[in-house]
Structure 1
């Protein structure tokens, strides 16, 4: 059953593929190689990419020789993914109900998809269902509290005195979980995954103030709905605060350098015998990956 949060997410992403790909999509692409490594994606792997967006994960998996299936709840995103990854099977589908038989895939991945579902535990149960025993699941989520670069747009909204509107609900407290290493790993263990773990990923996203503002100004994602939801006057007030705050992160050549932090959580579906787990492949206790 869809929640109010799910319905809000559908509205937030409707028709946004082009604007997303030009801004936030580049940001999210940083984590793709480590996501695929955690899931053990290699030549011949039957991999499902859930919440594919414009297809960056599916394309990278295909480049490894994997047999790729990808889904997204937003038709505009699915169309863009089909264009980018012609060898992949791309469908419109949304968690927590996927149109696949039990144990269909060797590996299932989701790049930030758990940030956009109203029932994360039900979503994980569905990912486990479609992944074979011994198969791997790997997911990225944004860490909380957010890194300074990730917090920039939210700071601009607050500085402008704008509150989150009621038509953009937050995740229900009973469905939420700690966005920490322990919280994400515990979520996967609670879903019945074995050899579950989590590691932080940190990097600097290099962009420009104009590019970073373009997504919210176009209404992309929850932040975009907040920016645009009260009309152009309020949007301009937020933009002015953004321009002031962005100076903290702007280099002399005009490059905006935004520190970001995410979590990479991984685990294995029980029943795989002595197969190596994702934690062993990653070196689960070796700390985070820093791309700066």
Structure 2
């Protein structure tokens, strides 16, 4: 486990409920396309890696698949068990999964490679547990981020927040790759996968300002840890800038429409 992985474990510890009430709704958008990319259908043996609150696992179960789901965080696993009661849900994490070689027909990972210190090693492990000719499908956030995704970071920066030492300085330190279509397909090629293809998904996530602020206010993800580690004065400044910048995305109904962009890729073992 890398230093990046260790910081991710600390960052997400106990955050299941807070994530489910905020950013999980955003991350649910690509799920149908993700399962289509992995060709998930009735009786398929599917592994959902980094299941979070079980959104992908539940959707795969609804398609009649036989689903196994894992997450590194116990509070996420508790939620996933409720969301997908017919799935086999357990605590486990990349880069070492407790499964035999070729155990699954398809492996899916929704916004997981953003959270591992060695993406190429992680992909090699996903390749190991999928059967020959089986599909691996995954999503990651595109870089540079779309305006909606950048909103919280803009507020943090404008407030003059300082990164605490326990947070990583940037993306994963090893196996770095461009967060664009060619970069992700290149990573999949390097991990020994075949027929890699990638597309960019763009959508507007709708949420109230209160809901969108609830994630960082509760310490969810990197932005939330940044917010919580500041002095009370700086936290107030972050919130003030968040309110100011949020006005750029408010529709006539008072709800934020936040532009996001993600990469959806698939490849075959």
Write the deviation string for residues 235-288 of structure 1: whole angstroms up to 9, x where unpaired: 11101110000000011321000000000011000xxxxxxxxxxxxxxxxxxx
Matches within 5 A, 1:152-163: 152-163=151-162
Note the C-alpha offset of 1:23. 1.0
- Map of 1:98-117 to 2, 5 A cutoff? 98-117=97-116
Q: Structure 2: where are the runs of 5+ without partners?
A: none
Distance in 2 separating the partners of 1:119 and 1:188: 13
Confirm whether residue 230 of structure 1 aligns to residue 217 of structure 2. Answer: no
Alpha-carbon distance in 2 for matches of 1:146, 1:3: 25
1:284 aligns to what? none
Structure 1 residue runs of 4 or more that deviate by more than 6 Å after TM superposition: none
Give how far 1:173 is off.
4.2
Partner residue of 1:276? none
Name the count of aligned residue pairs: 268
Aligned-partner Cα distance in 1 for 2:174–2:66: 36
Query: What corresponds to 2:90 in structure 1?
Result: 91
Q: Is 1:58 equivalent to 2:57 in the alignment?
A: yes
Q: Work out the CA distance in 1 between the residues paired with 2:49 and 2:174.
A: 23
Alpha-carbon deviations, 1:61-118, whole Å to 9, x = none?
0000000000000000001100111000001001000000000000000000001111
The 5-angstrom pairing of residues 75-154 of structure 1 reads 75-154=74-153
How far the C-alpha of 1:137 sits from its partner, in A, is: 0.1
- What runs of 5+ residues in structure 1 fail to find an aligned partner? 270-292
SS at match of 1:151: helix
Output aligned runs, 1:64-79, within 5 Å: 64-79=63-78
Whole-Å Cα distance in 2 between the matches of residues 172 and 36 of structure 1? 26
Contact 1:207/1:255 (CA < 8 Å) preserved in 2? yes
Aligned equivalents of 1:171 and 1:142: distance in 2? 11
SS at 1:42 equivalent: coil
Contact 1:217/1:235 (<8 A) preserved: no
Q: Do the aligned partners of 2:117 and 2:174 also contact (CA within 8 Å) in 1?
A: no
* Contact in 2 for aligned 1:35/1:139 (Cα 8 Å): yes
| Pairwise CA distance, 1:191 | 0.6
| Alignment partners' CA distance in 1, 2:108 and 2:133 | 15
User: Secondary structure of the residue that 2:70 maps to in structure 1?
Assistant: strand
